[in-house]
Structure formats: structure tokens, C-alpha cells
């Protein structure tokens, strides 16, 4: 049971206005602030731009002591500190690549009884590797001055997440050493299994979880097959929809970034394609100074478009990013959600366009019927009941001829297959068996011997996967998230919902789906 949190001290309310200039709270901010100020360990899932920072920055104005914030990127930390100092909130940070004398000065301040800092930011490797820091934290704690520990981008703790950082694993030590200090873990991306992993690794106790919808209604999604002239398409898309606006183009490799940036700028002599966009590239092979230069130029609107690998991401809080284009497929749907999440943080309309080719197939982009929003949210275990997002994705707004087809037989077979394999396997495996795959994994489990092996041979991969997904959406099957040593990394296995499945298998319910008429 969640304790009920109603009111915040009036001083907190006043400071929200006075210090942070906010006239109200965003969803969940108030309850999170209240829970952490009441001393609970708290896990917060809030979409990018939801206002996570306030949930630990406001309490420092009310509670005595120092808040320790663990944050993965120095650039992100510097940005935060700049804002805090502007608001007259004393804050400092320690990182491994800082001058030793500077570090010493900050540590000395921490020892003082009148330590001026309200917030101390550190990178995770600092916690993992610096005994000096731990000793100072112990001293603060001993004097009752360690108010709260904040773990930002907490999904980095989990190996099952898309952004695992080994140093985050070490953060479990904090709760061991500072049992009584409340921990606030914040992230914009976590599936159920990642959340479990984080809570366990950090050693959170009776943790209160706040989670809010991951739907971002102001983002418009579309998926476009990648043609040879992809860059022409991108150029046209930007000029028609986002002329002179600011955006990110995610590319796969360092070389792609440079190539795309160069082409869109059109600086290549004797190249007829003069697109004339103000672009720059950003990737992990540039040194820190170059990267921060590019990011600053972009933040100040001196360039419009950054062509980047996923190295560009965390900690970008430019509010008016109007488009995020994926020039190649994201690594996972979680990563995709996160990368798209950088668009439209000001709440205004923004576009997310994914260019894909069949060679880099994922079921999300291959699906050209179901609502994009529904598919993304389903991944986070969230149901998007509306079914149609009001035409803010390409699939919902497509006018195309769909033909209805009764797929009851296939649906029954899929349910049977889930049962006959013991409800231990993922949807992709079930689909493989159903469509007659003879992969090693199939053979290892002798699934080629099942009577339903290959029963769905006549269906296209996309069709079979739509039927299966429909069974999940409509609760005939459930995806059970589970970490398993036997079947590989984290996986979700399909379970049968007996009462619903019985209706289907006994012929009392039929399933009709709409398919594009071309299929």
C-alpha cells in the first residue's frame, strides 16, 4: 500500500514558485517529493521532460543536510549545477577528471560544520573507486548531514536495460553503508524486469514505486521504408515540416554521422546535392571538447541538425527539439522510446521518423497496421486503450484498404503452441516454431517435432506476429517478464490466460483482424 501523501509544507510550495518559477506541479512531482521527504526509498519512472530534477532539488530547500546525486555524465552535471547556482542553490560536483586541488577544496568544504552545499553531484565511477569520497560521506552521515541519495538514470544499474554501466552496479554499497538515508532512484525508461533489477541492486527497502504513462501525446510517429535516396527524403521532410527548426538524426556508425551531416549541409564540391542545412556531427570518437562544442552550438541554435550516434543523448534538455529522425534502426524499442523522448520536451508537437530497410528488420517498423503508440506502450507493459491515437502516427492516419480476415484457426494454434511448449518461451520463439524454423535453438528444444511446427508456414512473418500480438493485447496470452539463465538474457515468456483461451479454443469466440489488402 502506498502511504497517502497529501500536503507539502507550505515552504516547499512557496519555493516551487519563488526559486524554480513553477506555478504548479507536474504529474507525480508532488507525491514523489512528499514520499522522499517522508524518508521512504522511492523509485520513479517518469518520461523524459517530466520534471524529475525538481523531485530532489525542491526538498533541499526544506530539509537540512546535503543531497548526494549520482549522475552519469559530467556535461549533464555541469548543466544542472549552472541552473542551481543561477537559482542561488549552492551545489558542487566531484568527478575523476577534475583537478586534484579543486577536488580537495570541495572535500574540505564537506568536512566543515557549516558546509554550504545543498547538493553534491558525483559520477558513478567516483563512488565505485574513491575511498576518499566514501569516507567523507560517512563523516557527513555521522554528523546527520547526509539528507538523501539520488540515483539519476537509474536504469543504468541494470544489465537488462539498454544502457548498462558497470560502475552503477557498485552503487549498492550506498544503501549498505547508509541504511537510514532515503534513496530516490529516477529513470525515464524501465520495463518491469529492469525495475526489479535496479531495486535489488541498489538494495532499496520497501520501496515506493511511482510510474506514470509513457505516452507522449505531442510526438507524431512514422516509419518510412528507406530508399536509396534516403537523404533526399530526409531533406524534403525537414524542409516541408520543420524548416529552420532543430532536430537530431540518429545514425548507426561514426562514418554515417559524418556522411549524413556533410550531405545535408551540401559542402561537398562537385556534389550536386546542395541541401544547405546547418548540421554538425557528434559521436564517441570525438574528444570531449569537440563534442561539447557541437552540443553548445546546437543548444544555442547556431546549427539546426545534429547527426549523431546514440552517444548523443543522455542529458540533452533542449526543450524545442522538433524532430528526431532515425536514419537507421535503434537497438531496441526501449532505446527508440528514449531517443524519441528527446523531441518535444516543451510539450509542443514534434515528429519522430524512423527510416528502415528490410535488412534491419524489427517488428515495430515492419508492422504497418497497428498504432505506433500502442506498440511502444505495450512494450512498457502499458495498455493504450484508445486503440487509435487520433491520427498522430502514420499507421492510424493511413487511408488504405484493409480487408477483414478470420484468423481464429491460427489464433487457436498459437495458443496451443504456447501450451505445448510449457509456457516457457518468448513470442519470437513461438513464431519461429509456428512458421517452421529449423534454427539451432528450435532443434535444441526439439520443437521441430511438435505437430504444430510449421503449421503457420502459409503466413507471412508480419501476419503471424500480428495475430500473436493481438492475442497478447486482448489478454488471451500474457507476456511474463522473467530473467532466466536457461533461455538467455532477460526475456518475456508467453503464458496462457486459461479462462479467455478456453473460449477461443472451444469455438465460442472468433477472431477477425484487418490486414492491408495487398498482403
- Considering beta carbons, is residue 159 or 388 the nearer one to Zn ion? 388
Residue list 284-313, contact with Zn ion (CB under 5 A): none
Closest distance of CB 462 from ligand ADP, Å = 34
Q: Is 342 in the site for ligand ADP (CB under 6 A)?
A: no
- Contact call for residues 467 and 458 (beta carbons, < 8 A): no
Query: For residue 248, with 0-12 CB atoms within 10 Å meaning exposed, 13-18 middle and 19 or more buried, which class applies?
Result: buried
CA 253 from chain center: how many Å? 21
- State the minimum distance, in angstroms, from the CB of residue 116 to ligand ADP: 23
Residue 53 binds to ligand ADP (criterion: CB under 6 A): yes
Asked if residue 335 binds ligand ADP (CB under 6 A), the reply is: no
- Residue 242 beta carbon to ligand ADP: minimum distance, rounded to whole angstroms: 21
Distance CA 371, CA 376 (A): 9
- Answer yes or no whether residue 393 interacts with Zn ion by CB under 5 A: yes
Q: Which stretch binds ligand ADP (CB under 6 A): 43-51, 141-149, 237-245, 501-509?
A: 43-51
Number of residues that bind ligand ADP (CB under 6 A): 15
Is 352 within 8 Å of 323 (Cβ atoms)?
A: yes
Q: What is the nearest approach in angstroms of ligand ADP to the Cβ of residue 57?
A: 8
Among 5, 13, 22, 63, binds ligand ADP (CB under 6 A): 22
367 binding partner (options Zn ion, ligand ADP, none; Cβ < 5 to 8 Å by kind): none
Residue 371: which of Zn ion, ligand ADP, none does it interact with, CB under 5 to 8 A by kind?
Zn ion
The Cα 386–Cα 371 span in angstroms is 10
Which of residues 120, 306, 396, 505 is near Zn ion by CB under 5 A?
A: 396
SS3 content of the chain, % helix, strand, coil (to 5): 40, 15, 45
Toward Zn ion, which CB reaches closer, 56 or 220?
A: 220
Using DSSP, state whether 363 is helix, strand or coil. helix
* Binder of ligand ADP out of 78, 95, 222, 317 (CB under 6 A): 317
Contacting Zn ion (CB under 5 A), which of 307, 333, 389, 511?
A: 389
Secondary structure of 59-100 as H, E, C letters: HHHCCCCEEEEECCCHHHHHHHHHHHHHCCCCEEEECCCCCH
Please tell me whether residue 50 binds ligand ADP under the rule CB under 6 A: yes
If you write DSSP's letter for every residue of 425-439 in order, what string do you get?
S-HHHHHHHHTT---
Smallest separation (angstroms) from ligand ADP to the CB of 346: 8
Q: Please, what is the minimum distance in Å from the beta carbon of residue 55 to ligand ADP? A: 8
27 binds ligand ADP (CB under 6 A): no
Choices 24-32, 35-43, 272-280, 424-432; region in contact with ligand ADP by CB under 6 A: 24-32
The tally of CA atoms less than 13 A away on the side-chain side of residue 519 is 22
State the nearest-atom distance from the C-beta of 333 to Zn ion, in Å. Answer: 15
Strand stretches in 138-266, DSSP E:
146-151, 183-187, 208-211, 219-225, 246-250
Query: Which residue in 48, 309, 427, 492 binds ligand ADP (CB under 6 A)?
Result: 48
Nearer to ligand ADP, 89 or 223 (CB): 89
The residue among 237 and 336 lying less far from ligand ADP, judged by its C-beta, is 336
Measured distance CA(329)–CA(306) in Å, rounded: 17
Closer Cβ to Zn ion, 297 or 388, answer by number: 388
Q: Whole-number minimum distance, CB 32 to ligand ADP, in Å? A: 11
* Residue (338 or 491) nearer to ligand ADP, CB: 338
Nearer to ligand ADP, 122 or 504 (CB): 122
Nearest to 353 by CA among 366, 340, 364: 340
Which grid coordinates belong to 214? 509513457
Nearest approach, Cβ of 149 to ligand ADP (angstroms)? 17
For 225-228, which contacts have Cβ atoms below 8 Å and span 24 or more sequence positions?
225/355, 225/356, 225/357, 225/358, 226/328, 226/355, 226/356, 226/357
CA dihedral sign of residues 353, 355, 361, 365? positive
> Binding to ligand ADP by residue 51, rule CB under 6 A?
yes
Which residue's CB is nearer to Zn ion, number 202 or number 352?
Answer: 352
φ and ψ at residue 356, rounded to 5 degrees: -140, 155
- Residue (29 or 295) nearer to ligand ADP, CB: 29
CB neighbour burial string for 439-456, b if at least 16 within 10 angstroms, e if fewer: eeebeebebeebebbebb
Q: Which of positions 322-381 make contact with Zn ion (CB under 5 A)?
A: 371, 373
**Contact region for ligand ADP (CB under 6 A) — 48-56, 115-123, 234-242, 261-269?**
48-56
Q: Which does 48 bind (CB under 5 to 8 A by kind): ligand ADP, Zn ion, none?
A: ligand ADP
Under rule CB under 6 A, residue 65 binds ligand ADP: no
| Binding flag, residue 54, ligand ADP (CB under 6 A) | yes
Which triple of cell numbers denotes residue 62?
526544506
Task: Please state the length of the chain.
Answer: 519
Q: Is 26 in the site for ligand ADP (CB under 6 A)?
A: yes
In sequence order, the β-bridge partners of residue 324 are: 248, 352
46 binds ligand ADP (CB under 6 A): yes
Q: Are strands 512-516 and 402-406 parallel, antiparallel or unpaired?
A: antiparallel
Sign of CA dihedral 222, 225, 226, 229: negative
Q: Footprint of ligand ADP on this chain (CB under 6 A)?
A: 22, 24-26, 29, 46, 48-54, 317, 319
Q: Footprint of Zn ion on this chain (CB under 5 A)?
A: 371, 373, 389, 393, 396
Amino acid at each position: 500500500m502506498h502511504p497517502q501523501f497529501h500536503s507539502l509544507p507550505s515552504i516547499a510550495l512557496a519555493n516551487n514558485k519563488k526559486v524554480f518559477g513553477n506555478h504548479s506541479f507536474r504529474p507525480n512531482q508532488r507525491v514523489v517529493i512528499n514520499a522522499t521527504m517522508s524518508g521512504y526509498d522511492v523509485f520513479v519512472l517518469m518520461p523524459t521532460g517530466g520534471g524529475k530534477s525538481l523531485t530532489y532539488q525542491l526538498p533541499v530547500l526544506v530539509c537540512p543536510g546535503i543531497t548526494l546525486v549520482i549522475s552519469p555524465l559530467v556535461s549533464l552535471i555541469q548543466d544542472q549545477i549552472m541552473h542551481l547556482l543561477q537559482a542561488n542553490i549552492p551545489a558542487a560536483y566531484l568527478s575523476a577528471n577534475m583537478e586534484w586541488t579543486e577536488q580537495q577544496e570541495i572535500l574540505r568544504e564537506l568536512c566543515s560544520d557549516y558546509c554550504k552545499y545543498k547538493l553534491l553531484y558525483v559520477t558513478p565511477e567516483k563512488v565505485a573507486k574513491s575511498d576518499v569520497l566514501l569516507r567523507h560521506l560517512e563523516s557527513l552521515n555521522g554528523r546527520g548531514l547526509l539528507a538523501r541519495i539520488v540515483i539519476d538514470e537509474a536504469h543504468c544499474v541494470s544489465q537488462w536495460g539498454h544502457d548498462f554501466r558497470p560502475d552503477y552496479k557498485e552503487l549498492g554499497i550506498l544503501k549498505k553503508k547508509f541504511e537510514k538515508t532515503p534513496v530516490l532512484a529516477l529513470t525515464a525508461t524501465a520495463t518491469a524486469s529492469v525495475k526489479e533489477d535496479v531495486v535489488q541492486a541498489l538494495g532499496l527497502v520497501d520501496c515506493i514505486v511511482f510510474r506514470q504513462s509513457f505516452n507522449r501525446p505531442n510526438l507524431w510517429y512514422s516509419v518510412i521504408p528507406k530508399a536509396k535516396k534516403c537523404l533526399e527524403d530526409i531533406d524534403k521532410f525537414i524542409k516541408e515540416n520543420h524548416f529552420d527548426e532543430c532536430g537530431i538524426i540518429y545514425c548507426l556508425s561514426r562514418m554515417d554521422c559524418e556522411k549524413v551531416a556533410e550531405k545535408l549541409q551540401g559542402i561537398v564540391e562537385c556534389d550536386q546535392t546542395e541541401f544547405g542545412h546547418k548540421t554538425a556531427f557528434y559521436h564517441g570518437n570525438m574528444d570531449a571538447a569537440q563534442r561539447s562544442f557541437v552540443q553548445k552550438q546546437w543548444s544555442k541554435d547556431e546549427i539546426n541538425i545534429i547527426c549523431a550516434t546514440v552517444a548523443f543523448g543522455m542529458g540533452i534538455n533542449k526543450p524545442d527539439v522538433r524532430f528526431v529522425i532515425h536514419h537507421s534502426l535503434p537497438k531496441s524499442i526501449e532505446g527508440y522510446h528514449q531517443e524519441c523522448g528527446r523531441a518535444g520536451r516543451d510539450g509542443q508537437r514534434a515528429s519522430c521518423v524512423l527510416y528502415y530497410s528490410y535488412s534491419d528488420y524489427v517488428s515495430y517498423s515492419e508492422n504497418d497496421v497497428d498504432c505506433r503508440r500502442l506498440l511502444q506502450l505495450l512494450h512498457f507493459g502499458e495498455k493504450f486503450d484508445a486503440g487509435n491515437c487520433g491520427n498522430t502516427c502514420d499507421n492510424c492516419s493511413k487511408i488504405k484498404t484493409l480487408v477483414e480476415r478470420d484468423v481464429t484457426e491460427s489464433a487457436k494454434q498459437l495458443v496451443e503452441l504456447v501450451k505445448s511448449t510449457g509456457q516457457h518461451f518468448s513470442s519470437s520463439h513461438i513464431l519461429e516454431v509456428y512458421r517452421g524454423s529449423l534454427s539451432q535453438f528450435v532443434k535444441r528444444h526439439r520443437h521441430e517435432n511438435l505437430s504444430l511446427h510449421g503449421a503457420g508456414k502459409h503466413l507471412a512473418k508480419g501476419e503471424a506476429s500480428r495475430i500473436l500480438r493481438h492475442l497478447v493485447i486482448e489478454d488471451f496470452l500474457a507476456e511474463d517478464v522473467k530473467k532466466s539463465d536457461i533461455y538467455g538474457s532477460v526475456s518475456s515468456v508467453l503464458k496462457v490466460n486459461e479462462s479467455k483461451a478456453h473460449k477461443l479454443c472451444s469455438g465460442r469466440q472468433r477472431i477477425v483482424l484487418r490486414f492491408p489488402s495487398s498482403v
